Amino acid sequence: SGASSWISTRTERRLKEVGVKIILGNPIIGASPDAIILENDQSIKYDILIWTAGVVANSLALKISGAKFDDRACLIVDDHLRVIPYENIFAIGDMAFCSSVGAVGSSMTAQVAIAQGRYLAHTLKRILHKRAVFRYYFRRPKLVVPLGVQYALVDLGWLKFSGFLGWCLKCAIAFHYLTTILPWSKAIRRWRHGW
């Protein structure tokens, strides 16, 4: 997965602190206009339901004859992101599943897809020039997770912290991003509005 156990534990703790009820290990199996039904037949009433979970691979993957799939219809790839059993078909992003058996575990996030795309571009260039290729290594993404006003979790791998300092880092990252897509004056206005 993309998040470390530290992020998962701290996120759960913070959400409970701000009054969020968390139910784990009991998936939703149905919904009516005013309630969700859990696997244990428990019914939870709601006024507004916002569904934010679940990523499914593009159905185009199913058209690859002989390919192997995981339970979400993702193509199972090897440690060079080649679709098993093929040597010349590659898959990255939400369409690819790198299992711990065939390669490495990874999550369906934009950061992972970008890293896989860079790896694959480099690998294809090496293949075209008939040079040796190196296996793909999944690197856990660095995460900044905002969880309420003036609070964020930060996991840089070698450094983990939370609270107001994490929120300040999140704001700095947002400002940097805004300066890459907007003129400085507009970026500053947008950033100050968000701050």
105-159 residue pLDDT tens: 456 677 788 889 999 999 999 999 999 999 888 777 788 889 988 899 999 888 9
**What are the backbone angles phi and psi of residue 15, rounded to the nearest 5°?**
-60, -40
Burial 160-189 (b: 16+ CB within 10 A, else e): eebeeebbeebbeebbeebeeeeeeeebee
DSSP helix/strand/coil, 162: strand
> What is the predicted pLDDT for the residue at 68?
83
Question: What residue ranges of the chain have pLDDT lower than 70?
Answer: 1-3, 53-57, 98-108, 195
Cα-based distances in Å from 98 to 35, 43, 83, 168: 36, 35, 10, 34
CB contact set of 141 (below 8 Å; sequence gap of 6+): 2, 107, 109, 111, 112
Rounded Cα distance, 53 and 121, in Å: 30
- CB contact at 8 A, 2 and 143: yes
At residue 108, the pLDDT reads 67
pTM: 0.62
For position 101, what pLDDT does the model report? 39
Q: What is the DSSP letter of 94?
A: G
